Structure 1
Amino acid sequence: MTYQNLQLSQQDGILTITLNRPKALNALNTQTVQELQSFFSSDYRDQDDFHGIILTGAGDRAFVAGADIKEFLGVAADGNGAAMAHRGQQVFAQIERFHVPVIALVNGFALGGGCELAMACHMRIATSAARFGQPEVNLGIIPGYGGTQRLNQYIGKGKATELILTGNMIDAEEAHRLGLVNHVLPTLDEARDKAIELLTTIGGKGPIAIRESIRAVNAYYDNPEGFATEAEAFGKATMTEDFKEGAAAFVEKRKANFQGR
């Protein structure tokens, strides 16, 4: 597949994937999700010339600032919210189950679908400027790409529920304290060096052992029923008047007036 929104570069056995939509803060649109799906499911599934992946976003403002809200409005109008959530969940599951470690290198905003994408990676390394959150309730919807499931796994039910229900952001240090982030470094260069250091160390281990370790760790948390419930609830939320109001308010940069219908 020819990629429009992904840039790939490889050095010393480490492949860097850069989501390249900086003007849109690397927001996840349909094209980007399709390209991620193609990469992790077929294009590079069986290649063995790299032992680790760094996934990051272009520019200095965001890893991924969320999903494309204008596309969301179209999905709501068509009544395909649940199907959209299922597709996103499937793509992120492919990342989580990939046979070599994938590290999210987060600088700036990782919100909504961006936070969910980072959580689908095996590890997260952030700069001090990183900000994490699941602000979907501000639009009248819920996280739909695995956020309600993976955030629980990383930081526990109580804090995950608080962040999902309030839509509040947390900074990199708080994310590290909670266990969402593995390491925090002052600058992007230092964070990238840390990611390379970890992947170089892992690259010296047995490839089969690494692959099977990833599979075994994922097996403990594999709960398709929870993801199915999330997708159903996401689809239901996208059919509400509140979502149309929340999305319109976001686009128009005003406070939403939710009516509970």
Structure 2
Amino acid sequence: MQDVLVWVDGRLRGSGDEAISAVDHGITVGDGIFETCGVVDGTAFALTRHLERLVRSAHGLGLATPDVDLVRAGVAQVLTAAPDAARLRITVTAGRGPLGSARGDGPQTVVVAAGPGSRPTAGRVARVPWTRNERSAVAGLKTTSYAENVVALAAAVRAGADEALLANTAGELCEGTGSNVFVETGGEVLTPALTSGCLAGITRALVLEWGREAGLPVREAEPGELPYTVLDEVVAGSAHLALSGSVRTAVPVVAVDGHEVSPGPLSEQLCAVYADRAARDLDP
């Protein structure tokens, strides 16, 4: 693993240093939340929006409101020490707790880590047989319970892709393991609504906002408007895809299940609008 600089509860550490308790609830049962930011010229992109979502995820998981000032201090220290980092991860857990699901009453654990990262210029996706449960207790929350995503992404990588696309239990297109998806069809670009169970991605929100401001026909889909089978249309060439994510940014998709596909003209315009706006405003 390439070098990662870690800040835990007020102290900078190396990636191999002892940092948190073996009975931290984030370790034993995945009871935690996190945010990942791209880093541009030593600055965490859209940090304010990420911290706002961190607080929303904490409340959704039933955790106390994280100390945002403490998190900002950790971010500043880490990025000062690692100015060439490309990605930053903020993790907050319930802290030390019992070995079961019940929480303890200790303080939260706060971790900030920075390290290298790559920004692909296009996406290659694969369909996987598992679904996102849009009625889950943690649907739409960015929690550390990421095992489903690990399994799905590993399957996609084995298939020669760099992202897996998931349906929800209603058979609608939902999201990737670490990205939101946009579908260009019928002269519009649509992204699954949050009711599909997808994450309220920071980049997704900015693509929608900046795309509309640029006069592009981009919007959330209505329920049932984006069935998972729309991916067949992408393979056939009558629809197109793009992905968005904090490190990935906004990029067109050029392959689905090993089939080469063409980026859509609206999707490429949308990605270009995002790149231009993001370069001019690091904390939109």
- Same fold, judged at TM 0.5 (above): no
Q: Which has the greater radius of gyration?
A: 2
TM-score of the two chains, using structure 1 as the length reference: 0.29
Answer 1 or 2: which has greater helix percent: 1
Higher strand share: 2
